[in-house]
Amino acid sequence: MSYDFDLFVIGAGSGGIASARRAAEYGAKVGIVESGRLGGTCVNRGCVPKKLMVYASHFPALFEEARGYGWSPVESTLDWPHMIAAVNAEVTRLNGIYQRMLDGSKVEVFRGHGRLIDPHTIAIGEQTVTADKVLIAVGGKPVKPDFPGAEHTISSDDIFHLPEQPKHLVVLGGGYIGVEFACILKGMGSQVTQILRYTHILRGFDEDIRTEIQDAMERHGIRVVPNMRHIAIAKTDAGLEIAVKTADGEEDLILADAVSLAAIGRKPLLDDLGLDNTKVEIANGAIAVDHHSQTAEANIYAIGDCTDRINLTPVAINEGRAFSDTHFGNKPRQMNYENIATAVFSNPEAATVGLTEEEARAQYGDDAIKIYRSKFRPMYYVLPGKEEKTLMKLVVHQETDRVLGAHMVGDHAAEIIQGVAIAVKMGATKAQFDATVGIHPSSAEEFVTMR
């Protein structure tokens, strides 16, 4: 049977675009549909604008620290509208680049909502197209739970478009997105309260990372309210009143001008995709796929956050390229999910690769694991007289001497762990770390000098 396209991609986020362009490079005829801006979550309301705001939030501390090096005091205020406009202008610029890349790859771009009519037919408004293979890459959306006053909250998507800087931001939940925005707004001068359902932030990360960041956040002036069991929000003339009841029965009434659900989480964006017109199965709210990203419908595949495997932009990109390499490039391969490095752009920053200490002990047993840990004040903070700390940690399997995990909290953690991740991915041993000559003076050298 003849189809309009060899491949049609639903969703033009980072993963969908990467897959479409790779397939087109192999000679496939490719179409892609997107109802929003090109680039998906990462470019438009995630990694890129958030990291730009992280940079903006660092300047007040830099002005203060400069005085320790002899610079005169700096008096400066944040022009929030200017900063927001500059961030969104960069997002717009990147949208244009994505359009040019797709045009250059000869991928046909459709604007609108794509919906499956049958396994090979996609409707876009009144138009329909057919494809031999269909790739779903629609991403996710913020979760908005049901509690009294939830309609008064904003999501992480909305923070990039606030016309004014919140004087007091309340962040609900302890996920990495919420932690990042709590630190961003505090760095910019807002009062910040973070309300947790658990005792500590960043559930699933290494315990040392969780406690080190949370302790630092509190030292920096972020108020953390743990173990929330009930919450209600009411809008008043004075602002938003957030009534919180904790597990130990304590009650708290917080007045703020913005409440963010940034840390509650995200879920696959599966609304009105027409999946019921196919054999595609949903498991735990996500599209069910096998190791080849194939759904229960033989010609339909799915990648990225809509499959809820590891929800990171580089993972979605790699999944998409693996799909196209396999089906259009005659280079069959699978995505490898072991030892994927990740970072939290909090203050202090954190990054990690491999197993946490808890995961390693559960997998190999307590006696099989040896922990190397170093905590110190980096040289940079000596002259400013600040007690900022860096934490580095290696998780080692004693029998093989293999480094199973590397974790860091401190300045430039993401940049440092990216290099360490190569060694962990290759199966490096602690002896090989030790045999590596460090770069002195640097914080990174601590990874090869721990005893």
Grouping H, G, I as helix, E, B as strand and the rest as coil, residue 166 is: coil
Residues 265 and 284: beta-carbon distance below 8 Å? no
CA dist 193 and 147 (Å) reads 19
| CA-CA-CA-CA torsion sign (420, 424, 430, 436) | negative
CA dist 303 and 16 (Å) reads 8
Q: Does an H or E element contain 414, and which?
A: helix 413-425
CA dist 431 and 434 (Å) reads 5
Grouping H, G, I as helix, E, B as strand and the rest as coil, residue 219 is: helix
**3-state SS record for 420-443:** HHHHHHCCCEHHHHHHCCCCCCCC
DSSP states of 327-367 as a string? HHSS-------TT--EEE--SS-EEEEE--HHHHHHHH-GG
Residue 124, token pair as written in the block: 């876009």
Catalytic residue selected from 161, 291, 327, 440 = 440
- The alpha carbon of residue 96 and the mean position of all alpha carbons in its chain are separated, in whole angstroms, by 23
Q: Is 82 a catalytic residue?
A: no
Residue 117 has φ and ψ, to the nearest 5°, of -90, -35
Active site residues: 440
